[in-house]
Structure 1
Amino acid sequence: MKHKSQAVSEHAGDERPNPHASAAASAAAPVDARIQRTRAVIDHAFVQLLFKHAYRTITVRDIALKAGVGRATFYAHYESKDQLLRSQLTRIILPVLKACPEKPYLLDCTALFDHVLSAPQLFRNIMSGGEGSGARVVRVALQERVEVVAGFRDSIDRRLPLELVTRFVVSTLLAVTLHALQSKTPESPAEMQIRFARLAGSGIGELA
């Protein structure tokens, strides 16, 4: 008599791979790879333009030309220039915000400050220009991320409106960043974090 595990093993060995499933998987892989390559080309072209031009002046046509793709290809991957910027923020910038719910200032932004200081002109071009600048996209993305990362509902007095606290923290973060970029005296990411912690922490303490 065969052992039960042996019988199961032999039964499993009788199964044959589905040729249609294998073919579908093989066909999907190159498509996914092409999508990733195209997006990478568009992303790279976008960043290159941001180093030289204000965000508000860059058009979808500019991005497509720089990337060597048609506008239809751009829109196949992104609905708008704003969505492209948001994808960059979500993928690269926002994940470096470290939650510190036990601290009054809630976030360690040192890595974010380091990223900004490594490419100051990039950040300036995104944020400058008033109407049509990338400031709104950045602010909304940060507010959504801050709410999730910091876990405000557990770490902040529930009597405080969550939206008010979120906006306050993000405004402080951006104010510290812009001050460092405009200052004639260079600041390190660690020094910027200390300034942010003092301002945000004391402010939230007063609100509470």
Structure 2
Amino acid sequence: MALPRDRSTDLNDPRVRRTQAALRRTLIELVQDRDLSRISVADVAERAGVSRSTFYDHYRDVHELAEAACTAMIDDLIDAIPEPGTREETTDTLLTFFALLAEHAGLYRSVLGAQGSARVIDHVRRRATVAAYVGALRAATGGDGPSPADFTDGVPHDVPAAFTAGALIGVATDWLQHGCPCSPAEMAALTRPLLAALYHEDGRTRS
């Protein structure tokens, strides 16, 4: 198998970004029809219209491509982590969160499951912790406060934020592994009171 070249100097090349985006889109399409474990480099390359050597210029294998695809989507998905607030705000945000997971359930199921990617799981955990921490600060100040971009190196040790992140990952993973038996709306309705109770006890919710 060919080894990928050093890609650190390629990140600003629009051709590289286009090729990587095309490979990520292709994998997302393929995983709708079959398990990630049954998708080969040849499958992705053929569907994307590139050679196998081009694939290996960017990714070591399908697993690394899956990590890249999920990490990119998770950066958008984590923006939907609920900020403590009114019942309507929290439910709407949770609905978005679970709907985005359901849209690419096959891929998330593969990388968040028992045989999944530790890198992706850690990425979700860190981003979710930041989102929960920032949301609590904004709630406590009536909407003013820092943004997630202010915490690129993580947040101070914060038990409610870490608990929220872990709880959401656990609930979402269990839901995905069971084939999404409830709708995103039902998941939002079931999860909202649990998070509301957490932040009520923590004393950081706004009325």
Give the structure-1-normalised TM-score.
0.59
The equivalent of 1:171 in structure 2 is: 170
Q: Secondary structure at the match of 1:35?
A: helix
Which of 111, 133, 147 is 2:96 aligned to?
111
Letter in 1 for 2:197: S
Give the structure with higher Rg (CA).
1
Identity %: 22
Q: Deviations over 1:13-60 (max 9, x none)?
A: xxxxxxxxxxxxxxxxxx934223322331232122101111122233
Structure 1 residue 57 and structure 2 residue 56: aligned? no
Which of 26, 29, 51 is 1:45 aligned to?
26
Q: Deviations over 1:73-114 (max 9, x none)?
A: 223223443432233233334424335443499973322322
The equivalent of 2:189 in structure 1 is: 194
Identify if the C-alpha distance between structure 1 residues 61 and 165 changes in structure 2 by more than 3 Å, giving closer, same or farther. same
Residues 36 and 107 of structure 2 are in contact (CA less than 8 Å); yes or no, is this contact kept in structure 1? yes
The equivalent of 2:52 in structure 1 is: 71
Residues 55 and 126 of structure 1 are in contact (CA less than 8 Å); yes or no, is this contact kept in structure 2? no
RMSD of equivalent CA atoms: 4.0
- Misfit runs of 4+, over 4 Å: 103-107, 128-131, 152-156, 161-165, 176-180, 203-208
- By how many angstroms is 1:177 displaced? 5.4
Residues 100 and 150 of structure 1 are in contact (CA less than 8 Å); yes or no, is this contact kept in structure 2? yes
* Consecutive unaligned residues in structure 2, runs of 5 or more: 1-11, 141-156
Structure 1 residue 32 and structure 2 residue 13: aligned? yes
Residues 59 and 81 of structure 1 are in contact (CA less than 8 Å); yes or no, is this contact kept in structure 2? yes
> Aligned runs of 1:115-194 on 2, under 5 Å?
115-117=100-102, 119=103, 122-124=104-106, 126-127=108-109, 131-133=114-116, 136=118, 138-151=120-133, 160=159, 163-176=162-175, 181-183=180-182, 187=183, 189-194=184-189
Aligned length: 170
- By how many angstroms is 1:143 displaced? 0.9
Q: Secondary structure at the match of 2:180?
A: helix
Give the structure-2-normalised TM-score.
0.59
Identify if the C-alpha distance between structure 1 residues 207 and 42 changes in structure 2 by more than 3 Å, giving closer, same or farther. same
The equivalent of 1:88 in structure 2 is: 69
User: Aligned equivalents of 1:48 and 1:62: distance in 2?
Assistant: 11
Identify if the C-alpha distance between structure 1 residues 36 and 191 changes in structure 2 by more than 3 Å, giving closer, same or farther. same
* Consecutive unaligned residues in structure 1, runs of 5 or more: 1-30
Letter in 2 for 1:92: M
- By how many angstroms is 1:154 displaced? 6.0
